[in-house]
Chain A
Amino acid sequence: MRHALLVCIKDLRQRLRDRTAILTAIAAPLALTALMGFALGSSGGSGPGMRLVIADLDHSALSSAFVAFVQRPSLGGKVKIELVDSVDAAERLIREHQAECAVMMRAGFAQSVARGDPPPVEILAARGEQFAMLATRGLLSDFVNRAAAPPDRTAPEVIPRSAGGQMRIVDFFAASMTVLFLNFGVLSGVRALQAEVDSRTIVRLIASPTQPYAIVAGKLAALLLLGLIQMGTMIAATSILFGTRWGNPLPTAALMFTSVLMSIGLTAFLMSLANNADQGTALAALVITLLSIVGGQFLPPQGLPDIFETLTRLTPNGQAFFGFIDLSAAGSYGSLRTVAQPLAFTAIVGLSGIGLAGLRARSALRRIT
């Protein structure tokens, strides 16, 4: 344990001394969030209101309540609702761009909510209306959470964070840049680990009177701490600077943890495929960038062909990113259940990546000794 702590402290000292890494981890995502948020904020997503099509195919009291929920006074009438009686009609309005978004509540909606199962709901957004999509998801998630909440619980009023009931672009980029740069921040830590192999200092570590698990534990602890510090700093900074609300602290902290784990596993595995730190960094940076594009961190997949939505959900960073978006939308009603899928997905990817990287590292160590 003592040796693991020594390795962890040493690694932290090295990483915190690396100004480039700090710049990559904190300053760059903050600057980009501000830049993208303010640059795009005036041109998209914050119009006078949102036109929402609702197809109520459940015809239950609960599905009807959703209409009232969206029309409640606190939203200031910014969401214009059009009710239709079929999916085809909803799709036509979206296709013709007569509405930004459509919610289709299928039969069994009320029963699923009562049972606590995922309700049969589809959301469709017009091309280029990804922020309307996010806002609609937030409204629906908020409604379902309230409906599923114990009756004695007093539900506070959740007001969308910008006029027009849409998610602010700066909030979208706060989450996307946090996840994107988490990968780059962790990559610099994993690179240092690979550099330890390249420079053979790992040989001296193995020769010291310590157990191999203590070395691994110390290094993983350092990477985890750095990732958590980075995400924590980003969350605090965006909350203070941009007023971004990240949601309930407990599930947010849990998703932070598994996201960092995912990031370590992903970058460590990619690094283990390379012959040296430079090659590994180049490979990992390429894959992270591609995953970020597919994972919707530069542009949300809503409004793009359906395949992009599916691909987004298949990327670990996409899972983490939309997990944070969901938590943000759910506000104080967000729970571990809200992000059960992202939590499981990112944790599995993280642990698998770490395991595979560990196996490959053993072969690499055999080569260098």
Chain B
Amino acid sequence: MSYPSQQSTPALLVRGLSKSFGERLAVDGVGFRIAAGEIYGLLGPNGAGKTTSISMIAGILARDAGEITIGGIDIDAGAPARALIGIVPQAITLYLDLTARENLDFWGRMYDLGGAALRDAIDGALDAVGLTRRADDIVGTYSGGMQRRLNLACGILHRPKLVILDEPTVGVDPQSRSAIFDLVERQRDAGAAILYTTHYMEEAERLCARIGIIDSGRLIAEGTRAELVASLGQQARIEIGVGRGDSPERAERIVSALEGVLSTTVENSHLHVIADHGANRLPTMLTALLKAGTVTESVRVVEPNLEDVFLRMTGRALRD
């Protein structure tokens, strides 16, 4: 399959990116590219290396090895490359004792905006995140969701070619989450490349054209959602609910020993099983559990998703 990024200068090109902290290899040879107008999701659990990777891409953290270019400009060029990036860190990086307008004004000027262009950009950003009426209030008086939205507005004010969003929806209310999604999609439609890190599978599935799955510092899979799910082949996920008096862990031991069972996890008292030709294996599983005296209360064959891809590739759940 051919992607737009492979046909012209990508908005972001990352090759062989590596970083160690002492003995610990935090990022190990990560590489990917993002085209203009594309949302690329970096999906992985906490501690997988997402934030370290984007810190290097944004030029905040020195890398040990690898190549990063933004719109064809090497990140080591410094200010010219960083001017093309808009970063939205995971933490709320706002001056809480200034107003929203003062925050935007400061960040706009730091990216060399000024005059009418800056005023227009500020008004546009405030409108986009729904904070026009509260623009002159001190940010410290905002709710968490409003601060999150302003955090995003500060990152896109200067209309960057590459927007890096590091888990932008952590701890926000559904209304703010929806507003953030809309804003991200508008940035994409305006031609910006988006690098979106998350450990929420649903967000990656909803927003991202392509997804890179990262674990233990390595990019272990990459593709569209359909491609990643297709990589599971005939595998299916089966959810088995066991009786109240039975231990799901015991059920896991029984099922994992059966032929064709590829991985098992226990979550919320349910046993999750990935198996080749899952539906065909179901009778064997249920018989084995019955023979062991385990009561099966519910059974569900689930269409595979990114969670299953991650589970299959790492043997762990995404939120472990």
Contacts and interface: CB of A to CB of B under 8 A. Distances in A.
A204 B79 contact: no
B83 A13 contact: no
A3 B107 CA distance: 10
Interface in B77-111: 78-80, 82-83, 85, 87, 89, 91-98, 102, 106-107, 109-111
B110 A201 contact: no
A6 B106 CA distance: 7
Given A10-B106, A18-B97, A209-B83, A204 B154 contact: yes
Contacts of A10: 95, 98, 106
B112 interface: yes
Interface residues of B, number: 30
B223 interface: no
Contacts of B94: 199, 201
Nearest to A15: B97
A204 B60 CA distance: 9
Contacts of A210: 79, 110
Interface in B46-93: 55, 58-61, 78-80, 82-83, 85, 87, 89, 91-93
B89 A204 contact: yes
Nearest to B154: A204
A366 B60 CA distance: 9
A203 B60 contact: yes
A49 B78 CA distance: 70
A203 B154 CA distance: 13
Contacts of A366: 61
Given A207-B87, A211-B79, A199 B93 contact: yes
A199 B92 CA distance: 7
B93 A200 contact: yes
A153 interface: no
A14 B94 CA distance: 12
Given A10-B95, A201-B93, A369 B83 contact: no
Nearest to B21: A366
Contacts of A209: 78-80, 82-83, 110-112
Interface string A189-208: 00000000001110111111
A206 B92 contact: no
A211 B95 CA distance: 20
Contact of A204 (B97, B107, B112): B107
B98 A13 contact: yes
Contact of B110 (A17, A18, A199, A208): A208
A203 B102 contact: no
Nearest to A11: B95
B98 A207 contact: no
A217 to B, nearest CB: 14
A206 B79 CA distance: 10
A205 B110 contact: yes
Nearest to B88: A204
B93 A204 contact: yes
Interface string A355-368: 00000000000100
Contacts of B82: 207-209
Contacts of B106: 6, 10
A203 B93 contact: yes
A203 B89 contact: yes
Query: Which of A14, A366, A369 neighbours the largest number of chain B CB atoms within 10 Å of its CB?
Result: A369
Contacts of B95: 10, 14, 201
Contacts of B112: 209
A209 B83 CA distance: 5
A6 B79 contact: no
Contacts of B107: 204, 208
A362 to B, nearest CB: 11
A369 B93 contact: no
Given A6-B109, A207-B58, A369-B55, A199 B91 contact: yes
Contact of B60 (A6, A13, A199, A206): A206
Interface in A1-34: 3, 6, 10, 13-14, 17-18
A242 B82 CA distance: 54
B26 to A, nearest CB: 12
21 contacts: A3-B110, A6-B106, A13-B98, A13-B102, A14-B95, A14-B97, A17-B97, A18-B97, A199-B91, A199-B92, A204-B89, A204-B155, A206-B59, A206-B60, A207-B58, A207-B82, A208-B107, A210-B110, A211-B78, A366-B61, A369-B60
Interface of B: 55, 58-61, 78-80, 82-83, 85, 87, 89, 91-98, 102, 106-107, 109-112, 154-155
Given A203-B60, A203-B91, A205-B110, 16 more contacts: A6-B106, A13-B98, A13-B102, A17-B97, A200-B93, A203-B93, A204-B89, A204-B107, A206-B60, A207-B59, A208-B107, A208-B110, A209-B83, A209-B111, A366-B61, A369-B55
